[in-house]
Structure 1
Amino acid sequence: MRKFFLGFIVYALAELALLIAVGQKIGVLSTLLLIMATSVIGIYVAKNKGMNSVQKVKNTIAKGEAPGPALIDALLNFSGAVLLALPGFLTDIIGLLLLMPISRKLFQPIAFYWIRKKMKKGQFIIVQR
Structure 2
Amino acid sequence: MFLKLILTFTIVPILELIVLIQLGRYIGLWPTILIVAATGFLGIILARSQGLGIFFRIKDDLSEGRIPADEILNGLCVLVGGAMLLTPGLITDTAGFILIIPTTRNIVKSLLRSLLQKLIKHGTIRFYKIK
Question: TM-score normalised by the shorter chain: which range applies?
Answer: 0.7 to 0.9
Deviations, residues 12-37 of structure 1 (Å, cap 9, x unaligned): 11111111111111111000111111
SS of the residue aligned with 2:126? helix
Q: CA deviation at 1:45?
A: 2.3
Equivalent runs, 1:9-20 vs 2, <5 Å:
9-20=10-21
- Taking a change above 3 Å as real, the CA distance of residues 9 and 36 of structure 1, as seen in their structure-2 partners, is same
Query: Deviation of residue 114 (structure 1)?
Result: 4.9
| 1:70 matched residue in structure 2 | 71
- The unaligned stretches of length 5 or more in structure 1 are none
Q: What do the CA deviations read for 1:34-93 (whole angstroms, capped 9, x no partner)?
A: 111112222222322221111111111112222100111121122222212221000111
- 1:119 shift after superposition: 6.1
Alignment partner, residue 46 of structure 1: 47
Question: 1:34 and 2:35 equivalent?
Answer: yes
- Where 1:120 maps in the other structure, the secondary structure is coil
2-structure distance, mates of 1:121, 1:3: 25
SS in 2 for 1:25: helix
Kindly report the root-mean-square deviation, in angstroms, between the aligned alpha carbons of the 2 structures.
2.5
1:120 to 101, 115, 126: 126
| Distance of 1:86 and 1:109 partners within structure 2 | 25
1:21 aligns with 2:27: no
Residue of structure 1 equivalent to 2:91:
90
The one-letter code of the counterpart of 1:97 is I
1:106 aligns with 2:118: no
CA shift in 2, pair 1:86/1:114, >3 Å = farther
CA separation in 2, counterparts of 1:67 and 1:111? 16
Cα 1:85–1:41, aligned 2, differ >3 Å: closer, same or farther? farther
> TM-score normalised to the size of structure 2?
0.79
